Structure 1
Amino acid sequence: MVKNTLEMPEEILKFFSIEENQTLLVKGVSGVGKTTFALKCLKLFASPRCGIYYTAKANPKRTYSRYPWIKDVLPPENIIDASKTPHTLPRPARRGGGT
């Protein structure tokens, strides 16, 4: 029987116990559980409705249909489709008008 809980490795718990904003990149081959792991981390560690989920494969409707338990944690506007974001960010304006 598979448990419905996710035990976190000590390194992950330490990472999220740092009292500053954190970013975690989850990388791996298809089917190893990256999405489930990332969403479980959001549920366990993020303040309600404050987490942001970047994905190149899912939209809010698909995410909620596969992971209905995440609706209370992750609002649709916080699911970012990385395939539709610009590849470069605009440069900040220079101060003082210098060159």
Structure 2
Amino acid sequence: MVESNLALDKIFAALADVTRRDIVKRVSTAEHTIGELAQPYAMSFAAIAKHISVLEKAGLITKRRSGKEKVIQIQPKTLKVAAAYLGEYEKIWSARFDALEKLLEDR
């Protein structure tokens, strides 16, 4: 359980940053090189590389070499872990809202 929590901590910490969320969004539709990922941001290549490193350590993306470039791709399995965790809370809150709605209808 603790090991699972540590993985979730890394995932959610990585996703807490708007730039990293945008990178995840972009690589979820297609692979990109680090240079391609860096283009729309007003920050150094080194800063983007640090963001990519955080995402990689969280298991959200992987890096592979293609010639001289490093290509970034999404790791959907890790996103599924986060989604499953949040899904449990969705079930709890849906049940609570359903109970509240029933209570209000019965009045």
Q: TM-score, normalised by structure 1?
A: 0.33
Asked which structure has the greater RCO (Cα within 8 Å, sep 6+), the reply is 2
Q: For the pair shown, which has the larger CA radius of gyration, 1 or 2? A: 2
Q: TM-score, normalised by structure 2?
A: 0.31
Q: Please identify which structure carries the higher strand content.
A: 2
Q: Please identify which structure carries the higher helix content.
A: 2
